[in-house]
Amino acid sequence: MFSHVFVYRLKSIIRDRQLVFWTLMFPILLATLFNMAFSNLSKAEEFVKIPIAIIDNEAYQKSSTLKTAIAYVSEQDNPKKNMFLVTLTTQAVAEDLLKNNKVAGYIYVDQVAKLVVKQSGLYQSIIKSFLDNYNQSSTTFAEILKRDPSKFQALMADAENRGNFLKETSSTKNKPDTTVNYFYTLIAMACLYGGYMGMKEIVAIQADMSPQGARQNLAPVHKMKVLLYDLSAALVVHFCTLLAVLAYIVFVLRINFGDQIGYILLLCLFGSMTGLSFGAFVGAALKKSEGVKIGILTGVTMSLSFFAGMMYVDMKYIVTKAAPIMAYINPANVITDGFYALYYYDTHTRYFMNLSILAGFVALLCILTYLILRRRRYASI
């Protein structure tokens, strides 16, 4: 009996072209678009040498300390200190470079060094901070000499004595790259799209919703057994589509999911079950036409994905901080968070917590669906 029902459900699901599009092709398409749109996004944060211009006048040539300092931070062969890309030029050319965004700002030395920029920004702030450094040391020198004029020699000796006091430590194994989270929410959405399959199975087993349901109810097989067989067929198909989507994202788009394949697959399986049972529950609970049910399912899935950060990545963090409960009862967020925990944390505590929340969802939704469906009679349809 099992193999008979199972095989026919399998065929029925695979031949539903709309279903295959939404569960398989749509996530793949969205992943491709995400990849095109976000591939340069993390580069926007990366530091690139700041192009600046310096007006080459007499005052600049005389200020040897500034010249040394500039030379120090624009050394070609020292990538650590190499901050600026310097053009020495005239006032007119510098204006022109600034106007056409070829430099972030230009420096001119009058009595002190001054800066001309076009807008406020991080690069401009860095140039300013660098010049501050230079201008401030003369204030410090003056202050020290005021306190103890005999220290002139000591000060001169100390001038070159500047150090770096910061040590980079990384608390995590992977880079905090925000773009990966978009792909995690995408997988979460693909998991919840399993809801379409879950709903299809519910429609196919109820006599008042489809002719297949009427036929199935005539057969002398326990209804819940049939539903169980149906849902396992749906699980097989949906889990396979998820694997295909995952494989596409990992091997074609080369998005980093970490290297714990076993854990990732387990999370996908739980996500798939969550999606299926969610769809089954919506299908059983609502007495509406199939179109309305699909609309509701789509709307709910999209909203859940939105709050998990699919359209705007900070959303996930905002929700977690403002209303932690909302983060825990949102299956899309729990799935996303599971991938995030695998990628970013060293321990598995959070991952297993997410997994057990998903297991709780599945159990709850299945029980509810069972309570709704059991002992239902279709006297006249």
Q: Which of residues 82-101 bind another protein (CB under 8 A)?
A: 83, 95, 98-99
365 is a site residue for another protein (CB under 8 A): no
From the number of C-beta atoms within 10 Å of its C-beta (0-12, 13-18, 19+), residue 20 rates as middle
Q: How far from 364 is each of 74, 145, 157, 284, CA to CA, in Å?
A: 63, 77, 74, 14
From the number of C-beta atoms within 10 Å of its C-beta (0-12, 13-18, 19+), residue 244 rates as middle
Sites for another protein among residues 98-127 (CB under 8 A): 98-99, 112-126
Residue closer to another protein (CB basis): 181 or 272: 181
* Own/partner long-range contacts of 262-266 (Cβ < 8 Å, ≥24 apart): 263/342, 263/348, 263/351, 264/339, 264/342, 266/355
Residue closer to another protein (CB basis): 165 or 251: 165
Residue with tokens 């994202």: 249
3 is a site residue for another protein (CB under 8 A): no
The radius of gyration of the chain's CA atoms, rounded to the nearest angstrom, is 32
Give the count of residues interacting with another protein (CB under 8 A): 87
Report yes or no: 267 and 338 within 8 Å, Cβ to Cβ. yes
Q: Cβ of residue 304: shortest distance to another protein, in angstroms?
A: 14
160 is a site residue for another protein (CB under 8 A): no
Q: What angle do CA 78, 79, 83 make, to 5 degrees?
A: 100
Pick the piece of the chain touching another protein (CB under 8 A) from 14-22, 57-65, 248-256, 271-279: 14-22
Q: Cβ of residue 57: shortest distance to another protein, in angstroms?
A: 16
Q: Contacting another protein (CB under 8 A), which of 3, 64, 171, 380?
A: 171
Q: Contacting another protein (CB under 8 A), which of 176, 211, 324, 360?
A: 176
Q: Contacting another protein (CB under 8 A), which of 162, 215, 225, 376?
A: 162
Neighbours of 48 (CB within 10 A): 8
Sites for another protein among residues 217-276 (CB under 8 A): none
Neighbours of 146 (CB within 10 A): 8
Write the binding mask 273 to 312 for another protein: x where contact by CB under 8 A, - elsewhere. Answer: ----------------------x---x-----------x-
Pick the piece of the chain touching another protein (CB under 8 A) from 137-145, 194-202, 217-225, 370-378: 137-145
Report yes or no: 332 and 189 within 8 Å, Cβ to Cβ. yes
Pick the piece of the chain touching another protein (CB under 8 A) from 19-27, 58-66, 184-192, 263-271: 19-27
Residues 372 and 369: their CA atoms lie apart, in Å, by 5
Write the binding mask 37 to 76 for another protein: x where contact by CB under 8 A, - elsewhere. Answer: xxxxx--xxxxx----------------------------
8 is a site residue for another protein (CB under 8 A): no
